[in-house]
Amino acid sequence: MAKEKGGFWVGLAAVLFHPATRLLARRRFEGLEHVPADGPALLVCNHISYLDPPYTAVFTHKRGRVPRFMAKDSLWKVPVLRNVLVGALQIPVRRGSADAQQSLAAAGDALVAGRVVVIYPEGTVTRDPDFWPMRSRTGVARLALEHDVPVVPVVHWGTHEVYDHYKKKLRLRPRRTVTVRAGEPVDLSEYRGRPVTNALLREVTDLLMTRIREQLGQVRGEEPPSEFHPGRSREHGEAR
């Protein structure tokens, strides 16, 4: 399969991330066929560890695609990393209504250009004590409704066992398995063409995150909860 060209910085990231993700854990990639081999796509992901993005990146790159991540703008302040993010055309997400709209517009431009955009709608590592998805921001729904592209749910499991952000623990032994699984694109045809209201955005966001939650339950071999964690705090004591 011919790979989408990403330039020097994408190549550098690939050289670093492919072996690093293999070194940190056993990788189990499933459902790659659901990520389009060409053309635009929106990958909607759960977020359980700061290690999720490298595994999402390698997963997407294994499909021959170059991911455009929507990531916190604070990462652009990190020396060297900033060069990689800018060079690889990643998308900074800034808090505040006007700046958030600019981020969504940039993501929309990437979709129009036929790129793969990766979004973590929770906005941060989940605060659910059992690592299920929490109530998410509705920007993902706005993107999905404004651009008629495949919307692919992607789940991660195991990255939190390698690095738990809330407990500040990195565990390399015993060696864990990290699973990344893409599901079938979510059919949003019944929502398209309707007036975009806050209620519609919330409904579509919850639909997408429900699909992710169900898929995560399959990966974990567990029954998922019926409600989303509100996202305000964790049992670990961290406040929003």
Q: Write the DSSP symbol of residue 27.
A: E
**Residue 240 resides in a domain:** no
In one letter, which amino acid is 134? M
Burial 128-163 (b: 16+ CB within 10 A, else e): beebbbbbbbbbbbbbbbebebbbbbbbbbbbbbbb
Mutual angle of helices 7-24 and 52-62, in 10-degree steps: 110
pLDDT value for 75: 75
- Measured CA to CA, the distance from residue 111 to residue 127 in angstroms comes to 30
**Residue 204 resides in a domain:** yes
**Cα three-residue angle 58-33-24, rounded to 5 degrees:** 25
**Residue 226 resides in a domain:** no
For residue 33, the SS3 value is: helix
Instruction: Specify whether the CB–CB gap between 110 and 91 falls below 8 A.
Output: yes
**Residue 227 resides in a domain:** no
- Which residue's structure tokens are 């404004």? 146
Report whether pLDDT(238) > 60.
no
pTM for this entry: 0.91
Q: Number of structural domains, the chain?
A: 1
How does pLDDT run across 18-74, given as a tens digit for each residue? 999 999 999 999 999 999 999 999 999 999 999 999 999 999 999 999 999 998 777
pLDDT value for 87: 80
Query: CA dist 137 to 22, 89, 95, 140, 172, Å?
Result: 31, 23, 12, 7, 32
How does pLDDT run across 144-171, given as a tens digit for each residue? 999 999 999 999 999 999 999 888 899 9
Range of the domain at 164: 7-220
Burial 187-200 (b: 16+ CB within 10 A, else e): ebeebeeeeeeeeb
**Residue 78 resides in a domain:** yes
**Residue 238 resides in a domain:** no
CATH of the domain at 119: 3.40.1130.10
**Residue 235 resides in a domain:** no
Dihedral sign (CA 9, 11, 15, 18): positive
Query: Which segment, 74-83, 125-134, 166-175, is predicted with the most confidence on average?
Result: 125-134
Radius of gyration of the chain, Cα coordinates, nearest whole angstrom: 17
- Which residue's structure tokens are 């695609």? 65
**Residue 41 resides in a domain:** yes
Cβ-proximal residues to 213 (8 Å cutoff; 6+ apart), any chain: 46, 132, 133, 224, 225, 228
